[in-house]
Amino acid sequence: MKHLTPQIVKEKCVLMRVDFNVDIDQSGQIIDDFRIQRTLPTIKFLKEKSAEKIILISHLGQPKKNDFWTEKFTLKPITDYLEKILKEKIYFCSLKGFKEIKAAIDKSEKGAIWLLENIRYHEGENTNDENFAKQLSQLGDIYINEAFSVSHRQAASLCAITEFLPSYPGLLFQEEIEHLNKIIKNSEPPTVMILGGAKMTDKIPVIEKFFNLVNFILIGGAIANTILKSWNFEIGNSLFEEEMIEKAKNLGSDKAELILPGDFLVLTKKQQKNKRELGKIEKEDTILDIGPVAASTFQRIISQARTIFWNGPMGRIEDERFSEGTKIIIEAILSNAKARTLIGGGDTLMSIKLLKPEYRIPACAGRQNTENRFFSTGGGAMLKYLAGENLPALRALENSKL
C-alpha cells in the first residue's frame, strides 16, 4: 500500500472514511468513544499538514430504507462530541444531493472539518455502486481509508471510491495492519482464541480457518448457543442463528480443541437467575452467560496461553447478573503478562470499559503497547485478516492505480 505523507495532503480536500459506529444512549451521549479517539491522530495530522478541507464519512448502525434521512441513525451527536474533544467547529451536513453538499463545503473556510450524514442513508453504499462512488468522490481530491474495522465489507465508500481518487490508508489503518502482521509472525503456542457475542454469520468461516492456526478455541455467547442447537442440545428460548445451524453442525478439528460451556447462567420462566448444566436446560430458560465451571475452565486455559485472540463477550454484560463470565475472561487475559494479546471488536472493548473501568485502554493503543497487548478497532475485520481472509477494502487500496 501507499503511505500517507505531508506532501500528499497539503492543500488537498481530503475525503476520509472513518468508523464512528459507536453506542449512543437515548439522550444522545456517546457511551464508548474508543473508535473516535483512535481517529483523532489522523484528523490532527491533516490539520497540521495544511489540508484544504477534511470531509469525514461514516455509517451508524444498519438503517432500513424507511429509516433513511430520519433521526434514528443520525450522526449529529457525533458532530457535537467531536466539537468538544477537538475544540473547534465541526460542520454537519444533512444534505442529500452531492452538488448541494459540494457547494456547502466549498463555501466553508480553509481547514474546515465536515461530517456527512450517515452514508448508509444512500442506497448505493451497501451495493458498492460505482456511480454512487463517483458522485461521492467529487467532494474531494484524495481519499483516505481510516475505517479498518469495516474493511471486510464491500461498500462504495470503502471499495468503489478507490477507482476515482488517489487512495491511501490512514495512520490508524496502517497501525492495525502492522500489529496484526506482527502478532501473526511472532505468535507462540499455546495459542488461544476466545469468541463470543451474538453474530455467528461472519465467524464460522473464520473458526474453520483457525482450527489449523490455534490450539484452543473457547466459545461463549449466542455463538455457543447456535453450535449447541446444531448438535441437538436443548437451549430453551436462547438467542441463536437459525440460518447457521447446518454449517455449525460440522465444526470440529483434529488440531485445535473446540471448547464450549458445560454450564450456564440462565433467566428462568419466573425471570429469576439460575445455574443450569448442559443437558438440563429447560424449554423456558434463556441462556445469558457461561456458568462458573465453564468460566473457570476458560480462565485456566487462558492463564497458560502465550498468544491470545479475543472477540466477543460471554454473556449479557449490560445486566450485572450475567456479566461474571466475561469479567473472569477479562481478568484472566489482563493477568497473563507473558502472552502476546490481541483484543478487538466494539462489544469486546465495551466489556472492558463496563466491567473493569479502572483499566484504561490507551487511546493510541499501538504506540503505547508496552505489554504485548494491542486493542484493535475491528472485530470481524481483525479475525478475517488473521485467518487470511480477503478484506475487500484493503484489496481496493492495494489495487488503486490513481
CA neighbor of 201 nearest in space, from 150, 156, 240, 151: 240
CA neighbor of 381 nearest in space, from 120, 150, 138: 150
| Vertex 214: Cα angle to 371 and 185 (nearest 5) | 55
CATH 3.40.50.1260 spans which residues of the chain? Answer: 6-169, 176-386
CA 159 to chain centre: 18
Residue-level length of the chain: 402
CATH number for region 176-386? 3.40.50.1260
pLDDT (tens, 9 = 90+) of the chain, 402 residues, equals 788 999 999 999 999 999 999 988 888 888 888 999 999 999 999 999 999 999 999 999 999 999 999 999 999 999 999 999 999 999 999 999 999 999 999 999 999 999 999 999 999 999 999 999 999 999 999 999 999 999 999 999 999 999 999 999 999 999 999 999 988 888 899 999 999 988 777 777 778 888 888 999 999 999 999 999 999 999 999 999 998 898 888 887 667 899 999 999 999 999 999 999 999 999 999 999 999 999 999 999 999 999 999 999 999 999 999 999 999 999 999 999 999 999 998 889 989 988 998 888 876 544 444 468 899 999 889 999 998 888 999 999 999 988
CA neighbor of 35 nearest in space, from 391, 379, 384: 379
Do residues 291 and 263 make contact, with C-beta atoms less than 8 angstroms apart? yes
CA neighbor of 125 nearest in space, from 203, 58, 175: 58
**Rg of the chain over CA atoms, in angstroms?**
22
Q: How far is the C-alpha of 149 from the C-alpha of 3, rounded, in Å?
A: 19
The full DSSP string for 297-356 is HHHHHHHT-SEEEEES-SS-TTSGGG-HHHHHHHHHHHH-TTSEEEEE-HHHHHHHHHH-
Who contacts 361 (Cβ-Cβ below 8 Å, separation ≥6)? 34, 349, 352, 353, 375
Q: How far is the C-alpha of 243 from the C-alpha of 230, rounded, in Å?
A: 11
Q: How far is the C-alpha of 51 from the C-alpha of 238, rounded, in Å?
A: 51
Fold entry, domain 6-169: Rossmann fold (3.40.50)
CA dihedral 30, 35, 40, 42 (to 10 degrees): -150
pTM above threshold 0.75? yes
| Vertex 379: Cα angle to 212 and 261 (nearest 5) | 60
Three-state DSSP string of 69-82: CCCCCCCHHHHHHH
Do residues 231 and 260 make contact, with C-beta atoms less than 8 angstroms apart? no
The full DSSP string for 257-292 is EEE--SEEEEE-TTS-EEEEETT---TT-EEEEE-H
Phi, psi of 91 (to 5 degrees): -85, 125
Q: How far is the C-alpha of 278 from the C-alpha of 281, rounded, in Å?
A: 6
Three-state DSSP string of 120-160: HHCHHHHCCCHHHHHHHHCCCCEEEEECHHHCCCCCCCCCH
